[in-house]
Structure 1
Amino acid sequence: MKKILSILFIAFLLVACGSQKKADRIGQALDKVNKSTEIKMPKASPIQIAQDVAFLASDDLKGRDTGSEGIEKAAIYISERFQEMGVNPFKGSYMDDFQAKGTEAFNVVGVITGSDKDMLDEIVVIGAHYDHIGVMQGVQGDSIANGANDNATGTATVLAIAENFKKLEFNRRTVVFALFSAEEKGLIGSKHLAQRMKKEGMNVVAMINFEMTGTPMIDSPFITYVTGHDGSNMAAVFNEANEDVTVTGKLEKAAEFNLFMRSDNYPFFQEFNVPSQTFCTFDFTNFDHYHKVGDETSLVNTGHMANVVDAVMPGVFKVVNGEKLKLTPQQPTTDE
């Protein structure tokens, strides 16, 4: 009997020691995350951002309408950018195929697998839509709705963040970088991917979306606003993570126009009931070419875009590596 008790005691000590080692390891990692502001974040390249926006919004792509030859060229470009920077294809392929109102369509999706075995099954989706509305009625001989600000800028922002994570080589959670098609047709691409990930049992814990980040806000104390501001602690986490600037805030116009439900964050909120919000700098006064042929590359401020990436990066890093974001007790279906 004493021998059995001794064996059980030794086993208990081994388990306890193992648990302590695991706790120490997690504690050290968390300590590193909590000091994320001390980690030197890579700086976004305005030149690379400008190249990405210029290609995606070029006349050659003819407005990137879903199902068009132009959007196929855009998808190839994005997948090649992922490949060049070392971001792996999602589930074996960068192309996530679906049907959009009878048209063949595809999201472009890359992934960086998490480094922490206890957290790698938790997924943070970072996304933007790369489609636009194609060709429309001409204005002074121009009929191509290039969609530079809407949303080549959001796409370039996601690519810049992906490149930063490859440089950092530190992400405890798995990060999925998703560029959506058919947003302009009713969020079809993001709905497809969110439903697919839910069906396949994936554990999405947050979704961070970028929309129209090409022009600075006017007379604003913060660099971006976040839709659904009061629905989670996302804004607070991003502002606490960056000691140098006020990263984000609440824009009343976003509530008035219910932007929380009108971009690719929303399907992930519906499917996973986790913090899923969009960062944007279009404030309804700083850009006059929404869904018009005048949405040209010449109006995009790539220096501002690089500042946006640099501002949000500590917060994105914190979401990927730190404590989970939390919804507020009263979960809104609008920005109000």
Structure 2
Amino acid sequence: MKKAGFILTLLGILVTASAHGQGKNANSITAAQLRDYLTFIAADEMEGRDTPSRGLNTAAKFLATNLSRWGLKPVGDEGTYFQKITLQRRRTDPAQTRAEVNGRSFNFGVDFLNREPAPGTASGALVYVGHGWLIKAKDINPYAGLDIKDKIVVFLSGLPKGISFREIRGRQGEDLAAPMTYAAKHGAKGAIAIPNFQSLATWERNRRNAVANGSVVVEKFQQSNDVSIPAITASPRLLNALFEGEKESATAIFNRGLGGEAVAPFELRPDKKASFVIGIQSDQVFTQNVVAVLEGSDAKLKNEYVAIGAHYDHVGIGTPAQGDSIYNGADDDGSGTVAVMAIAEAFARGPRPKRSILFVWHCGEEKGLWGSRYLMENPLVPLPQIVAQLNIDMIGRSKKDGDANSENAELTGANEVYVIGSKMMSTDLGVVSERVNKSYFNLTFNYKYDDPNDPNRFFFRSDHFNYAQKGIPIIFYFSGVHEDYHQASDSSDKIDYQRMEKITRTIYATAWELANAKSRPKVDKKLPAELTAN
């Protein structure tokens, strides 16, 4: 017992000494510093940092300027801090876009809008398929007894009554399928969506956006074997033409659809044919990840990397709310962006760890985790050499005493943070995470969402997911959604900078520990195949 006690005491001294070393440099990260950086990143002049946009490019240059000033190594394209990503912008060409029902003409913008930013032509008989969702777990199959091959399917926007996206589980295309997915897979020529109130309310804005701005896609993500079909959303005028003379009227179908209900699916008269053509104008635009490395001090271990990242994009300029149309994204994810900046600065100005540190500011997270996916498919360092990835997304807000707003119910407290994934793939990583925290600020690590099956699906909703898919153990730091999430009101004056300082210092200390550990965290747990399938 005495010997065991001596060993425990010695370990305690070593942990305390290590924590002191971490803490000394971590203490250079301050609330004032975070405030200064975020005031710039979340300023109106950044125009919401959409991907791609002038504001996002300005933010990228701000990051690169500071990385250069701190002496961090650029590892992007051609000796820069930027990993360039080629996008394709697709705008609707009204002059080349038209529709017909039994020879009667309909015009883009007035009678219909295209749903997908892709060119295409569809022609054929029509089948009404209700909401069009196949959900086997709920015994929902609107296609039973219907032949949709070589036809145009007509479906209601939204989910069937009593179904939420949180409930939908299973293998895509097998246990469940959205209308467009099912129709394409089973040979339909095209699809026509019946609008809901939301799509009608935003009709004119969507028309203008389709022509002026269009949509962007990552060129490298487009696969020649993608199965897709052209689709449009119909106006009430076009709907009336589609269901004229049918056993159910457009009005009845539309009204029941608004309540989540659906008239039973049926094939429209065989003598009724519809066709539409979608014309698209395409051009190339570009965006970028921002990447830098602090080279490790150990001759061997410097070839391994601890990755630290956040997404520096947001959602741009949107629907005005109380006179403000710029979605500043201070918390989402300006908070993570500047936390990684502060950590990078602390590492650059302090002693070098044994392993190298890879700093990444991902673009396009809001579009579908674009930047992290692109980096994983086009790595700038060998992926097997990344020992762990620490992802920081929305750590700026905290629950205030007396806040009864239900939209803020899941915010963490002033000394608390949600931790997701730390033990999911590596026992070692979870141990390091807990040990560092307990020896430093001793924050409350809330593991409420640390489950891929959690209905909120936060594990899938930020950039760490693409690293995890490649077998890299991750930790995701997150403070919870709130009333200003994806609103113009997500501004820098609402950030709890003192709390953010503590979380950022803790992440720095965790990265320091991982970068100096004798061994890398062992991956001793595999994610289920359905979670990592592309």
Q: Name the TM tier (shorter chain).
A: 0.7 to 0.9
Secondary structure, counterpart of 2:34 in structure 1 = helix
Measured on the aligned residues, the alpha-carbon RMSD in Å equals 2.4
The structural deviation recorded for 1:297 is 0.9
Residue number among 480, 485, 488 corresponding to 1:293 in the alignment: 488
Q: 2:359 matched to 1:183? A: no
Larger radius of gyration: 2
- Alpha carbons of structure 1 residues 194 and 33: separation in structure 2 relative to 1, 3 Å: farther
Aligned to 2:81: 94
Q: 2:474 matched to 1:279? A: no
Secondary structure, counterpart of 1:136 in structure 2 = strand
Aligned to 1:37: 19
> How far apart are the structure 1 equivalents of 2:311 and 2:414?
27
Note if contact 1:194-1:268 (Cα within 8 Å) is conserved in structure 2. yes
Note if contact 1:238-1:314 (Cα within 8 Å) is conserved in structure 2. no
Secondary structure, counterpart of 1:154 in structure 2 = helix
Structure with greater strand share of residues: 2
> How far apart are the structure 2 equivalents of 1:276 and 1:253?
12
The structural deviation recorded for 1:200 is 5.5
Residue number among 234, 237, 248 corresponding to 2:432 in the alignment: 237
Note if contact 2:362-2:372 (Cα within 8 Å) is conserved in structure 1. yes
Q: 2:525 matched to 1:326? A: no
Residue number among 235, 250, 266 corresponding to 2:465 in the alignment: 266
Larger displacement relative to structure 2 (120-129 or 36-45): 36-45
- Alpha carbons of structure 1 residues 252 and 179: separation in structure 2 relative to 1, 3 Å: closer
Structure with greater helix share of residues: 1
- Alpha carbons of structure 1 residues 171 and 144: separation in structure 2 relative to 1, 3 Å: same
Q: 2:303 matched to 1:135? A: no
> How far apart are the structure 2 equivalents of 1:111 and 1:225?
27
Q: 2:386 matched to 1:204? A: yes
Q: 2:381 matched to 1:195? A: no
> How far apart are the structure 1 equivalents of 2:43 and 2:49?
10
> How far apart are the structure 2 equivalents of 1:328 and 1:74?
38
Aligned to 1:18: none
- Alpha carbons of structure 1 residues 235 and 222: separation in structure 2 relative to 1, 3 Å: farther
- Alpha carbons of structure 1 residues 293 and 220: separation in structure 2 relative to 1, 3 Å: closer
Q: 2:442 matched to 1:246? A: yes
> How far apart are the structure 1 equivalents of 2:49 and 2:414?
34
Secondary structure, counterpart of 1:257 in structure 2 = coil
Amino acid at match of 1:145: Y
Q: 2:226 matched to 1:226? A: no
The structural deviation recorded for 1:167 is 2.5
Normalising by structure 2, we get a TM-score of: 0.53
> How far apart are the structure 2 equivalents of 1:259 and 1:237?
22
Deviations 1:56-88 (A, max 9, x none): 111111100011111111000011111122212
Normalising by structure 1, we get a TM-score of: 0.82
Residue number among 30, 34, 53 corresponding to 1:49 in the alignment: 34
The structural deviation recorded for 1:253 is 8.1
Deviations 1:168-222 (A, max 9, x none): 2221111110001001111111111122228856621111110001013567596
Amino acid at match of 2:81: Y
Note if contact 1:183-1:190 (Cα within 8 Å) is conserved in structure 2. yes
Amino acid at match of 2:40: F
> How far apart are the structure 1 equivalents of 2:369 and 2:514?
24
Larger displacement relative to structure 2 (148-157 or 82-91): 82-91
Note if contact 1:33-1:318 (Cα within 8 Å) is conserved in structure 2. no
Secondary structure, counterpart of 2:302 in structure 1 = coil
> How far apart are the structure 2 equivalents of 1:109 and 1:55?
19
Structure 1 alignment gaps of length 5 or more: 1-30
The structural deviation recorded for 1:160 is 0.9
Structure 2 alignment gaps of length 5 or more: 1-12, 88-216, 219-284, 400-410
- Alpha carbons of structure 1 residues 147 and 245: separation in structure 2 relative to 1, 3 Å: same
Amino acid at match of 1:157: A
Amino acid at match of 1:223: E
- Alpha carbons of structure 1 residues 201 and 237: separation in structure 2 relative to 1, 3 Å: closer
> How far apart are the structure 2 equivalents of 1:313 and 1:32?
19
Once the two structures are aligned, what percentage of the paired residues are identical? 29
